[in-house]
Amino acid sequence: MKAVRYNGPFDVSVEDVPDARIEQTTDAVVRITTTNICGSDLHMYEGRTSMEVGRVLGHENMGVVEEVGPGVQHVQVGDRVSVPFNIGCGSCRHCQSGWSSFCTRTNPTEGMDGAAYGFANMGPYDGGQAELLRVPFADFNLLELPAGDEHEHDFTMLSDIFPTGWHGVTLSGFVPGDRVVVYGGGPVGLMAAHSAMIRGATEVFVVDQQADRLRLADSIGAHPIDFSQGDPVEQLMEATKGAGADRGVEAVGYQAHDHSGQEHPELVLDNLVSSVRSTGGIGVVGVYVPEDPGAADEGAKEGRISWQYGQFFTKGQTMGTGQAPVKRYNRQLRDLIVTGRATPSFIVSHELPLTEAVAGYDHFDKREDGWTKVLLHP
């Protein structure tokens, strides 16, 4: 089958690889109809992870079930499904309490809980930027979608970024009526903003400097803040008469940079602490890593971030972090799409055949204007 192979920093290619196949009794194989390039793929693409050369990338996958193992009881061949990026076993303590993103069994990496497809440090699983994908524990992991091809562009957001943005809002301690600030107007940040609007935010601010992202924020009823035009905290305070936000979402991660392009991993955390009122909360879904040899700062190389913790404590804020447990949300989000109340496809800018994935990575990584989200069709 055709698949997107990681060859090294800034080097991917579409290659012929052996077909994905049933390996355990509880596996399924899914024929991919749509698979997206994710912002976190770029951490790998840019060589800022320990991704192995030769792995197939792609953790935002959907398609149709092609084959099931003999231990699969519910999923059936022909089912249209969304594949959550987390691979849960369904029976460990975390999976059973709604934390499939921290499954204690599926990732053999020492000291790491949680597995994913085509992802550095998250187990040996190949990704779905390919024609076929092997899905372990298929009954537990797969989400059934209505048959046909309706809502394909919306449903394809169910595997990762829509639940991830939604989770960021949840981690912030959001309640309806709250005012929310989202740092980062990339796909995840825009999904967080969309989620907060759907869930009854009084108002939502999205901080970024890319014009295309700020336009999209505006298009869903959020207020764009362009940090290239001045301190975003000051802009927020001015817009809110000094009140700031009740909740903040971090959708940037450890490669945060200032207007000049200089990386400052503490920058967004500091701004969040200043933006959010006392007793407010911060949800962090932008990725931070325990080791980052490519970091400029000595502390950051070993995962240390020197942020305004004293202020955080003094304001009595809370913080929730980590990868989203997709399964906790994807049923409801699917239903919101079906009834037209959620339309996450608003971020899609490009659709390419899988064979043009290389160009897709290149344009998206350069954050070229208008390349907000790329879908691939095998």
Looking at residues 342 to 371 of the shown chain, list those that interact with a second copy (rule: CB under 8 A): none
Min dist. Cβ of residue 31 to a second copy (A): 21
Of 132, 276, 336, 374, the residue at the interface with a second copy (CB under 8 A) is 336
Residue 372 CA to residue 358 CA, distance in Å, equals: 16
Per CB under 8 A, does 279 bind a second copy? Answer: yes
- Stretch binding a second copy (CB under 8 A), from 12-20, 33-41, 150-158, 304-312: 304-312
Residues binding a second copy: what is the number (CB under 8 A)?
88
Min dist. Cβ of residue 39 to a second copy (A): 15
Of 222, 287, 326, 374, the residue at the interface with a second copy (CB under 8 A) is 287
Phi–psi pair at 327, nearest 5 degrees: -65, -20
Contacting residues for 206 by C-beta, under 8 A, at least 6 apart: 181, 182, 185, 189, 190, 193, 213, 214, 217, 222, 223, 224, 225
- Distance of alpha carbon 352 from its chain centroid, rounded? 20
Joined together, the tokens standing for residue 180 give 């929310």
Per CB under 8 A, does 294 bind a second copy? Answer: no
Quick one: CA torsion of 272, 273, 276, 280, rounded to 10 degrees? Answer: 120
Residue at token pair 């497809």 = 117
Per CB under 8 A, does 320 bind a second copy? Answer: yes
Is residue 62 within 8 Å of residue 158, measured between CB atoms?
yes
Of 94, 134, 153, 247, the residue at the interface with a second copy (CB under 8 A) is 94
Of 50, 229, 314, 355, the residue at the interface with a second copy (CB under 8 A) is 314
Per CB under 8 A, does 140 bind a second copy? Answer: yes
Q: CB-side exposure of 297: number of CA atoms within 13 Å?
A: 17
Min dist. Cβ of residue 5 to a second copy (A): 26
Per CB under 8 A, does 307 bind a second copy? Answer: yes
Per CB under 8 A, does 72 bind a second copy? Answer: yes
Is residue 43 within 8 Å of residue 118, measured between CB atoms?
no
By C-beta, is 12 or 89 nearer to a second copy? 89
Residue 167 CA to residue 192 CA, distance in Å, equals: 8
Per CB under 8 A, does 254 bind a second copy? Answer: yes
Min dist. Cβ of residue 290 to a second copy (A): 4
Which residue, among 165, 159, 166, has the nearest Cα to 82 in the 3D structure?
A: 159
Is residue 64 within 8 Å of residue 80, measured between CB atoms?
yes
Interacting positions 213-252 with a second copy (CB under 8 A): none
Per CB under 8 A, does 177 bind a second copy? Answer: yes
CB atoms within 10 A of CB 107: 23
Of 33, 308, 343, 345, the residue at the interface with a second copy (CB under 8 A) is 308
By C-beta, is 230 or 299 nearer to a second copy? 299
Residue at token pair 């959907």 = 62
